[in-house]
Structure 1
Amino acid sequence: MAMESRRRSSITTIFVILVLMAAAEAMKPCPGTTSGYRRKKKKAAEAMEDMPLDADVFAEPPGRNAPQQEAGNSTVMYGKAMDKLDMAAEGNHTRHKYYNYTSGHIHHCTLVNLEYGVKYYYAMGFGYTVRTFWFTTPPKPGPDVPFRLGLIGQTFDSNATLTHHHSSGAAAAVLFVGDLSYADKHPFHDNTRWDTWGRFSERSVAYQPWIWVAGNHEIDYAPELGETTPFKPFTHRYPTPHLASGSPEPYCNNFHYMEGEPMRVEFERMAVDARVDLVFSGHVHAYERSFRVSNLRYNITDGLCTPVRDRRAPVYVTIGDGGNIEGPADEMTWPQPAYSAFREDSFGHAVLDIKNRTHAYYAWYRNDDGEKVAADAVWFTNRYHMPNHDDSAAAAGNKKRR
């Protein structure tokens, strides 16, 4: 009995020590940075929630098939020279109704037999108004092939973000992390905002590959309007290659702080074991980058384990800051959590330059009163090819330069 009592006492002591260690870790000053940047007060015209529908970025190009979703030819001609479009692909079209709105003919066409790293020209609208665009396919995948990815999360801020993205140099592709048209913030989920969003984003989407992730503003579930099919406008307009990943439907979305904990518990172990380097998320309208941290022991209910530095773990980036009608999320947790490396309640975009199998350069640019300013930048080393390298030193050096 005495031995059993001592054993229980030792277990209790260990338990108390673990609790004290967790508490001490939580009280350590955060080595991260909370940006002191504050946006200047907007001009009266720019204080509106959305740009007016007569803004030049929403202007309809001349011609019947310009992109007003008219019925007609769905054929796309394409080729390696503007004067030699020697390949053809036949598309199809779909329409949908949403409450008191009926969409036009939304055309979709898949181009096949494309080569890596080649500039292609393409044209559509035959029989009416022919329009021609071009794009460059990504390079052939390989461990040391450079690849630039643009990251963007119809407002004046969205307009600035898209303009700054262009000035960052041509990206091989763009990842858009949700919240597109904000039609759901207008009376009756005004779906004409999906039309204007298409015209607004054409200046980029028509010239480079975009991949879309659905956010909560794409749900458009409104039983009070008789609309009970989630994501109806989004899925009719922006099909994503979800079947390639084995997913039965196009992606998902999460909400606010801690509401994604069940998903974290399910997926974090896989991310750490696979040595994932970066995880990008949207929804919260601000910017934040974490250190490499994991919280593998925490199971939602015990509350004993706080995130700890872990070289195997990904860096988590919240980049839902492309521009919205609600304003930036400025209610941050204080004191700044120990896992947080840099955060700012502002708008902007990011660029990820993958250099080779071991290194990538990442930079986030804020929208600073019409200017593009590099506010956060860091080099990443790959956990698979450089498992024991600590890239926190590079992050610390970057912090000193800001």
Structure 2
Amino acid sequence: MMPKVSRTQSLLVLLAFISFVLLSSVNSRNAGITSTFIRSEWPSVDIPLDNDAFAVPKGHNAPQQVHITQGDYDGKAVIISWVTADEPGPSKVQYGTSTTRYDFFAEGTVRNYTFYKYKSGYIHHCLIDGLKYNTKYYYKIGSSDSSREFWFQTPPKIDPDAPYKFGIIGDLGQTYNSLSTLEHYMQSGGQTVLFVGDLSYADRYEYTDVDVGLRWDTWGRFVEQSTAYQPWIWSAGNHEIEYMPHMGEVIPFKSYLHRYTTPYMASKSSSPLWYAIRRASAHIIVLSSYSPFVKYTPQWMWLKEEFGRVDREKTPWLIILMHVPIYNSNEAHYMEGESIRAEFESWFIRYKVDVVFAGHVHAYERSYRISNIRYNVTSGDRYPVPDKLAPVYITVGDGGNQEGLAGRFRDPQPDYSAFREASYGHSTLEIKNRTHAIYHWNRNDDGKKVATDSFILHSQYWASNRRRKLKKHYLRSAVGHITTY
């Protein structure tokens, strides 16, 4: 029989236990690691334009650059996009659940644009809605002998325990390293890509009057091997801005917005550059690092309202995508995310965001759960501190573009940095249920995929529920006697 103790003693033991649990969850971490791996192959060299990766599909005016993204808030729609080079052609998509019969069709829209002396092909966007969850659909675009056929799989219905595997790619470009990243991702079993900005790097190709536009076309054909078969959730980076007054082009994101549409209106956003979707057990919020975000701007107002729409009982996983990292210990782009951190970090903590994925820095880095919100100019902690309520910040700007790796990390490694390495690769986040997910970062240097950094990510929402239940249990227990699990 357990001996009885006084209520005061019980409360003291209770407080000590709670303090131990909370401090352990925050501070029990290993020292940060800076990888010493040195890549030995494949410099950042563009794939030649005559390479099969950029091949134009056969047939007159055949659809090319096919890509799909989610088309609604909850995953029962897709937007299918493609380009026809010579003439508009039909904007119709035929689709069904059999390879031999297309029972349904949808009509899309078509448009084109000019960029300096470049004139785009005809860009088609077609919304297909009313789809069934967890169903494989086959679709056909184009006409007669030039038509092409693809397929995609819809996600499971919105459910807190719906398993799902996301890939995370950023700063991809169109080099041999880009190809390695894409091929390795396609072997991962990922079902949807969360793309954190900087797609084609077309703005770096100013060698002729039309190269900026043509490099959007080559990139669209390059990624089609994945984008035609599963949704890529798009976010824009600095290389999508394409502000080039010397060419008379001063409308930001012109090429990107014509080519890569998003379901922004489904989440009541006023801009395609910031929006939200729900998919399986995840609520995903896409932010724009290069659009106004301070108080009372449209993006700020929208994000405030969107956080209020998050239902963690249905989608326990809350994920943020943005291009510029908030926490970054690389010399490249150091502190560039400070202004957006000051604006939104407290919201990320208040709403228990699980993970924030970013790109921009051409290296990989993962943080501990930390925050820097306590300092108020006159008092408080002036440096990032452990914070069990904070998200994990992960930079995956390592897709493979021609600018090369960001190989100079700041020394010493700051306390908030858990792991960092200057290599190319991609990540996967495999959600198992409402409580935990498995994360991997996969290095693809030297032609091989190597799972280099991994950990189990626990849902902030359900973890906080468990802490509350644990606290209530011990408060009840302290009235009589102390119990143990």
TM-score (norm 2): 0.71
What is the distance in 1 between the residues matched to 2:383 and 2:112?
49
- For residue 186 of structure 2, what is the aligned residue in structure 1? 166
Cα gap change, 1:346/1:140 in structure 2, threshold over 3 Å: closer, same or farther? same
- For residue 139 of structure 1, what is the aligned residue in structure 2? 156
Q: Percent identity?
A: 53
What is the distance in 2 between the residues matched to 1:289 and 1:302?
28
What is the distance in 2 between the residues matched to 1:300 and 1:34?
32
What is the distance in 2 between the residues matched to 1:128 and 1:90?
20
- For residue 241 of structure 1, what is the aligned residue in structure 2? 263
What amino acid is aligned across from residue 222 of structure 1 in structure 2? M
**68-77 or 219-228: bigger deviation:** 68-77
What is the distance in 2 between the residues matched to 1:126 and 1:387?
54
1:52 is aligned to 2:88: no
What pairs with 1:25-174 in structure 2 (closer than 5 Å)?
Answer: 31-42=31-42, 47=43, 49-64=45-60, 65-67=62-64, 69-70=84-85, 71-153=88-170, 154-169=174-189, 171-174=190-193
What is the distance in 1 between the residues matched to 2:131 and 2:266?
18
Cα gap change, 1:304/1:144 in structure 2, threshold over 3 Å: closer, same or farther? closer
Selected match of 1:225 from 220, 223, 247: 247
- For residue 197 of structure 2, what is the aligned residue in structure 1? 178
SS at match of 1:361: strand
SS at match of 1:120: strand
Native 8 Å contact 2:175 2:400 kept in 1 = yes
Aligned length: 357
- For residue 235 of structure 2, what is the aligned residue in structure 1? 213
What is the distance in 1 between the residues matched to 2:377 and 2:110?
46
Cα gap change, 1:57/1:300 in structure 2, threshold over 3 Å: closer, same or farther? farther
Shift of 1:301: 8.7
1:362 is aligned to 2:358: no
What amino acid is aligned across from residue 230 of structure 1 in structure 2? P
Question: Hey, which bits of structure 1, 4+ residues long, moved more than 4 A?
Answer: 299-304
What is the distance in 2 between the residues matched to 1:259 and 1:195?
30
**CA displacement, residues 281-330 of structure 1 (integer Å, 9 cap, x when unaligned):** 01111100000111112357979511111111000000111111111111
Native 8 Å contact 2:140 2:147 kept in 1 = yes
Shift of 1:41: 4.1
Native 8 Å contact 1:149 1:175 kept in 2 = yes
What is the distance in 2 between the residues matched to 1:356 and 1:371?
30
What is the distance in 1 between the residues matched to 2:246 and 2:227?
33
Shift of 1:32: 0.9
- For residue 289 of structure 1, what is the aligned residue in structure 2? 366
Cα gap change, 1:317/1:48 in structure 2, threshold over 3 Å: closer, same or farther? closer
Native 8 Å contact 1:177 1:212 kept in 2 = yes
Cα gap change, 1:296/1:101 in structure 2, threshold over 3 Å: closer, same or farther? same
Selected match of 1:267 from 298, 322, 344: 344
1:377 is aligned to 2:413: no
What amino acid is aligned across from residue 187 of structure 2 in structure 1? S
1:387 is aligned to 2:407: no
Computed over aligned residues only, the root mean square deviation of the Cα atoms, in angstroms, reads 1.9
SS at match of 2:289: coil
**CA displacement, residues 26-81 of structure 1 (integer Å, 9 cap, x when unaligned):** xxx98111111110043xxxx46311101110011111223152410110000000
What is the distance in 2 between the residues matched to 1:240 and 1:300?
39
What amino acid is aligned across from residue 162 of structure 2 in structure 1? V
What is the distance in 1 between the residues matched to 2:433 and 2:361?
31
**CA displacement, residues 243-262 of structure 1 (integer Å, 9 cap, x when unaligned):** 33333221323552222212
SS at match of 1:258: coil
Native 8 Å contact 2:374 2:380 kept in 1 = no
What amino acid is aligned across from residue 37 of structure 2 in structure 1? Y
Native 8 Å contact 1:137 1:172 kept in 2 = no
Shift of 1:242: 2.2
**325-334 or 381-390: bigger deviation:** 381-390
1:309 is aligned to 2:386: yes
Cα gap change, 1:376/1:368 in structure 2, threshold over 3 Å: closer, same or farther? same
Native 8 Å contact 2:160 2:433 kept in 1 = yes
